[in-house]
Amino acid sequence: MSAKYELLLENAEQVVLVCTNGERFLRKESMQNLAIAEKVSVVIGKDGCIKAIGPGSTIHAQFSKSSFERTIDCSGKCVLPGLVDAHTHPVWSGDRVHEFSMKLAGATYMDIHQSGGGIHFTVERTQGASEEELYTSLKRRLLRMLRAGTTLVECKSGYGLNLDTELKMLNVIERARRELDIGVSSTYCGAHAVPKGKTATEAADDIVTKHLPQLKQLMLAGELQVHNIDVFCEKGVFDLASTRKILQAGKDAGLQINFHGDELNPMKAAELGAELGAQAISHLEEISDEGITAMAAAKCSAVLLPTTAYMLRLKQPRARDMLDAGVIVALGSDFNPNAYCFSMPIVMHLACVNMKMSMKEALAAATINAAYALGKSDSQGSLEVGKEGNLIIINSPRWEHLIYQFGGHQEIIESVIVKGKVI
């Protein structure tokens, strides 16, 4: 007789459920009160979804031992939800290690960008790369993220700028979404920089009149799934007016608004995002008090990126002020040629040490709230019956070790499971 259920995880010391009542996000005190069950087992069905969570005796009374395809003994170990990385730029050719030494010697991000390097350097290399080459490197990067515990990742285009290369990047992301185990949320970020020889207004016009209609057609034809629209709203890149125009057009095309704002200069991007109904805004090192209030009221999530502030020696995002005001705080690695970090455990560690978040807040931000930032928290981001069976098993009797052991996740993460499948 073939097994009825895919997987049984038995007798974990702690299972971090995160939440238990179908919450789509956590904020304020609820981030401090994560649901954690002790000495429980988890059942995942053939459809990849969680069927039951409970004490071993209850599970054994309910399910016969032979009904599982596979059983893993989790005594002495902890189970956590798969991590969600709410902000990455993983499709590109050519690294920027030479710029790292320039930055260490004192050059700022914008110095390098304005002298034609930074994003422009990567755009040139990516425009010249084949789809196959980009897919091969994307696959390698996503598999590294998966091994570091990420089971859902947001992937941006944005090193193409022209329509052909942006489509090439989105096709590569689409292929990864279809072929790899990791969950992918795809973001069109054609407004990542102003192409050389154009103004921001001209670039915004191209996006609204040429790129988005073409994208919409491909989406309707079922050739491409794109979920989010992004703009780098920054002094010297896209100003507030161009940002508004692009985001509104993206929203009209059916995309969720999820953009870069208030990173290097205060731009009132948070206020704009709240007004437009953005699902998420990233960075926010320079957010205003009014922006914090507006984002909290609009349930617009803040995707904080501790690697970027660390790498560029920026002031830290005001995580505590945002948390206290009731903003839905999420985390992302910002993996890109500037911030070369695949690891959400390292991101959570940095969020705790540099942004003064507690470990529970950091975990909520890297699971349920990051899933909310991508509009996927109805099916991912916590361990609840009915949700996808995406989880990690760590080789420690206390879950906090995942964050505490700085950079030690390679050793501590024993298994990563996506929809019940052990990767």
Interface residues toward ligand NIG, by CB under 6 A? 89, 118-119, 122, 232, 260, 263, 308, 334, 336-339
Q: Least Å distance between CB 230 and ligand NIG?
A: 9
> Whose CB is nearest to ligand NIG?
338
Q: Least Å distance between CB 234 and ligand NIG?
A: 7
Joined tokens for residue 421: 């499948």
Q: Least Å distance between CB 369 and ligand NIG?
A: 18
Q: What DSSP designation does 96 have? A: -
Q: Which residues contact 263 (CB under 8 A, 6 or more apart)?
A: 234, 282, 283, 284, 285, 286, 308, 314
Q: How many CB atoms lie within 10 A of CB 405?
A: 16
**Residue 350, SS3 per DSSP:** helix
Q: Least Å distance between CB 338 and ligand NIG?
A: 4
| Dihedral over Cα of 86, 183, 344, 394: its sign | positive
Q: Which residues contact 338 (CB under 8 A, 6 or more apart)?
A: 96, 99, 109, 118, 308, 311, 312
Which residues sit opposite 416 in a β-bridge?
392
Q: Least Å distance between CB 156 and ligand NIG?
A: 8
Joined tokens for residue 217: 């057609």
Q: What DSSP designation does 194 have? A: P
Q: Least Å distance between CB 87 and ligand NIG?
A: 7
The DSSP H or E segment spanning 45 is: strand 35-45
